[in-house]
Structure 1
Amino acid sequence: MSNTPMPSQHSTVVSQSTIWKVIIASALGTMIEWYDFYIFGSLAAVIATNFYQSGNETAALLETFATFGAGFAARPFGALVFGRIGDIVGRKYAFLVTLLIMGGATTVIGILPTYASIGILAPIILVIIRIIQGLALGGEYGGAAVYVAEHVPDHKRGFYTSFIQITATLGLFVSLLVILIVRTSMSKEAFDSWGWRIPFLLSIVLVGVSVYIRSKMSESPLFTKLKHAGKTSKAPLKDSFGNRRNWKVILTVLFGAAAGQAVIWYTAQFYVNSWLKTQAKVPANTVDTIVAIALFLGMPFFVVMGALSDKWGRKTVMMAGNLIGAIAIYPAFMALKAAAGPITPAVLDASGKVITPAVANNPNTVLLTLIIFGLVLCVCMVYGPIAAFLVESFPAKIRYTSISLPYHVGNGYFGGWLPFIATAVVSSTGNIYAGLWFPIAIALLTFVVGMVLLKETKDNSLHDEASDNPMSTEMDLIAQS
């Protein structure tokens, strides 16, 4: 029997024009938050020299990646704080607040004094700002995913929510594009000295536009109806984490979907960027350009995979992506090294100081782009359907709180710490490919857990939750999941 709701049956289904307004407003704000979050990682090498004591390039880069990871470590806590607000007050209010916090924190990085100016205070303040950013992002994604999902018809939820899934890659793409434009508009010395601040300061303009658009939006119709009916949770943290059956769903979602998605995402779109620069010695501008092109080419496939999940099922598409990703990552990086070409050794002076750094002398940019594009397709498979899957896995009264935790634990700890873990493993072993075993192992774990324990959710109806059907209670939906 079809679970597709008709507008005449459920007042929570809105018009097509309203759906697209919701998607555009939600996606724009979420993209800006991802932009804010990822310009830090995209500028890791420059930030390392400005905010950490000089002398050891690898140590400074590791410290920067640890600071990057601190923001991810804070994301689950932001999910709890803003998830609770979203389930009590409303989806719109929660992710409007997170946007303001993220934009403000990013702007502060753009004016923060460096280590040369204020010493140890510089990295301490930087870590605090990253934690604040992590808290904000922890509340943003869940709100946007839930907000869109609660507006759209059940049978096309994978398709519509996949536009939210584009925003993380789009935010990374825009961050790389802005950095490229700024970097090529001035000398390397000027960019390394002060030009790197411009992408951070630009955030305040982007946030202003998004806040204006989001302030014009209405609350989710499904949440509004539940609130009027007195069906919302008064204690979403207790209802989410004081329930044994819900914990089973949370842990299954974490290890059977979110963890594998996270490591594939950050390996294929983020770690590959720093790896090509530090291990294959491809020039920074070249790497940023080819990664940006690969991301741009791959973005439409998030929607393709989301739409396929409406037909084939969320589980089928996501598990295929985890398995293909786990198999493909290692040979793909070997192919990247080969395509980068031989490295011209660094030129040192008599004291051992680097005069000319080591550099790949003839990288095959077309082949590098195509390999990264192939990895991005794996990202599309695991990430395109996951917003719909997460929303369908939890009942409306605790949905914002519940989906945010496994998603941000997966992405915050398994994904966010991947660059640090992988770089540390490479540094300690001397094997430039050794860091890849971490994402491969996690992706395989997710494939096994997902195949055994994950339930298909594409036929779960969100709109029935707002009806008066006594069979569509929250606990029934948890049991079905």
Structure 2
Amino acid sequence: MPTTSVPLSAGALAPSPSLSRQDVQTLGLSALGGTLEFYDFVIYVFFAAVLSHQFFPVDMPDWLRQLQTFGIFAAGYLSRPLGGIVIAHFGDLLGRKRMFTLSIFLMAVPTLVIGLLPTYASIGVAAPLLLLAMRVLQGAAIGGEMPGAWVFVAEHVPPHRYGLGVGTLTAGITGGILLGSLVAVGINTHYSPADVADFAWRIPFILGGVFGLVSVYLRRFLHETPVFQQLAQRRLIAKEQARELPLKTILREHRAACLLVGGLTWVLSAAIVVVVLITPNYLQKVHGIAPALALEANAVATLTLTLGCVLMGWACDRIGTRAVMLIGFGGLLLTSYLFYTGLPGTPASLVWSYGLVGFFVGVIATVPIVGVRAFPAAVRFTGLSFAYNLSYAIFGGMTPIVLTLWLQKDPLAPAYYVGGLAVLGMLLALVPLSSRGFVARKA
């Protein structure tokens, strides 16, 4: 796969050859905002076991409570395409910055509300329904945030820092998982299980809402991307709007790019949802590992994931995206199999092996690196958002449910699922982006 920069419109001025002070500020604020917003979205899963007892009847079988809790978690993914398409549509027409700020506001408010919701014991069936509504709103917000963040940063950084820029931003986003993991460790360490069930589970959601509102304020210091400014100045956006909606252009002219990005997103969802989000609960339920140890190991894995994203992005600038994908997905296949088959092991082996597989999950940084290149600037936000969010809604949303049912029959279900998707990632690495239907080459 080529390692050229994100294509600009014909005749557009290329970015400066090094990261300017404004570039660094943009990357830093974008990564920080992504960290806080993704924290808001994923903190739910770290307290899934507690939430299942707070928002569903106590006489319900544990596996069914767990299934319904993950079903509400999945609803956040299922609402991503609609929110992503709407936010991306206006991001392509009105500007990246406005929608970039709006998405985090739409995430912060529902997160704060979840922390204040009454439980099933207080209001009955209305409790899980309200929880579901808040997750739907969160999903709509994250659907616009992640593609918007990738496009925003990719259109700012210079060509030879493209992989590093997108990889660093992805590390910032995954840093939200690390922050959630650390908060979960802190809550479970500082409070007794009874206190967590009583009131302490609310703390991370309330903090998340406050974090999100702070990030809304910080994003006011960001500037619109040079690529969008160039498009607007030459009235390309007005012409596109008069002709047809960006989504129509995507569906007619860029179906191959959508399939590629959708396939890679399926691989990304397997790595994130299974290895990072579901595994702490899996370690407790299937292997009887203490919650504190499971969360500590997860924190280590998420830290190595964050470092892996930066390294994978840097390597894409040095040796090419295809080579990094083949090495990274191959490493994910091997290390995930060794990790799940070696459980429960010792505390030391758990932390070490979980950290190693977490590092190779960092290969997910190549997904936006490929995805942003796959669409032209005028419809880039819409194309990436549509393909990414639709795929994540289908595969990311269904993964917790599928694995919950699969685990009833085979405790190694996570190893098989992640391994199979890692193989798919290696196959997709062989797709030539310079073929017809893609715009990876310089305009």
TM-score, normalised to structure 2's length? 0.91
1:71-470 alignment runs, 5 A limit: 71-232=76-237, 233-234=240-241, 235-241=245-251, 243=252, 245-255=253-263, 257-337=264-344, 339=345, 364-381=346-363, 383-427=364-408, 429=409, 431-451=410-430, 453-455=431-433
Q: Residues of 1 paired with 2:185 and 2:327: CA distance? A: 34
Contact 2:271 2:418 in 1 (8 A): yes
**Could you list the per-position Cα deviations for residues 118-156 of structure 1 after superposition, in whole angstroms to 9, with x for gaps in the alignment?**
111111111111111101000001111111110111121
Indicate how the Cα distance of structure 1 residues 271 and 176 shifts in structure 2: closer, same or farther if over 3 A, else same.
same
Indicate how the Cα distance of structure 1 residues 80 and 3 shifts in structure 2: closer, same or farther if over 3 A, else same.
closer
Residue matched to 1:32: 36
Residue 438 of structure 1, CA deviation: 2.9
Q: Residues of 2 paired with 1:373 and 1:184: CA distance? A: 21
Tell me, what secondary structure is at the counterpart of 1:336? Answer: coil
Residue 476 of structure 1, CA deviation: 8.0
Q: 5+ unaligned residues in a row in structure 1: which ranges?
A: 340-363, 458-473
Residue 248 of structure 1, CA deviation: 1.4
Q: Residues of 1 paired with 2:184 and 2:268: CA distance? A: 26
Paired residues in the alignment total: 430
User: How well do the aligned residues superpose, as a CA RMSD in angstroms?
Assistant: 2.4
Contact 2:256 2:438 in 1 (8 A): no
Quick check: 1:477 aligned with 2:436?
no
Q: Residues of 1 paired with 2:342 and 2:438: CA distance? A: 49
Tell me, what secondary structure is at the counterpart of 1:123? Answer: helix
Tell me, what secondary structure is at the counterpart of 1:86? Answer: helix
Tell me the amino acid that sits aligned with residue 356 of structure 2.
Answer: G
Contact 1:4 1:153 in 2 (8 A): yes
Q: Residues of 2 paired with 1:20 and 1:480: CA distance? A: 24
Structure with the bigger RCO (C-alpha within 8 Å, sep 6+) is 2
Q: Residues of 2 paired with 1:384 and 1:456: CA distance? A: 20
**Could you list the per-position Cα deviations for residues 260-304 of structure 1 after superposition, in whole angstroms to 9, with x for gaps in the alignment?**
122122222122211111111111111111211232244222111
**Could you list the per-position Cα deviations for residues 145-195 of structure 1 after superposition, in whole angstroms to 9, with x for gaps in the alignment?**
111110111121001111111123211111121122233333221111111
Tell me, what secondary structure is at the counterpart of 1:251? Answer: helix
- Among 38, 46, 51, the alignment partner of 1:47 is 51
Contact 1:151 1:220 in 2 (8 A): yes
Residue matched to 1:16: 20
Tell me the amino acid that sits aligned with residue 266 of structure 2.
Answer: A
Contact 2:3 2:317 in 1 (8 A): no
The percent of aligned pairs where both chains have the same amino acid is 28
Q: Residues of 2 paired with 1:103 and 1:224: CA distance? A: 28
Residue 445 of structure 1, CA deviation: 3.0
Q: 5+ unaligned residues in a row in structure 2: which ranges?
A: none
Tell me, what secondary structure is at the counterpart of 2:148? Answer: helix
Q: Residues of 2 paired with 1:456 and 1:321: CA distance? A: 22
Q: Residues of 2 paired with 1:172 and 1:435: CA distance? A: 19
Residue 37 of structure 1, CA deviation: 0.6
Residue 104 of structure 1, CA deviation: 0.2
TM-score, normalised to structure 1's length? 0.84
Tell me the amino acid that sits aligned with residue 248 of structure 2.
Answer: K
**Could you list the per-position Cα deviations for residues 293-327 of structure 1 after superposition, in whole angstroms to 9, with x for gaps in the alignment?**
23224422211110111122222212332333234
Q: Residues of 2 paired with 1:37 and 1:449: CA distance? A: 28
Indicate how the Cα distance of structure 1 residues 228 and 83 shifts in structure 2: closer, same or farther if over 3 A, else same.
same
Q: Residues of 2 paired with 1:173 and 1:254: CA distance? A: 25
Indicate how the Cα distance of structure 1 residues 250 and 435 shifts in structure 2: closer, same or farther if over 3 A, else same.
same
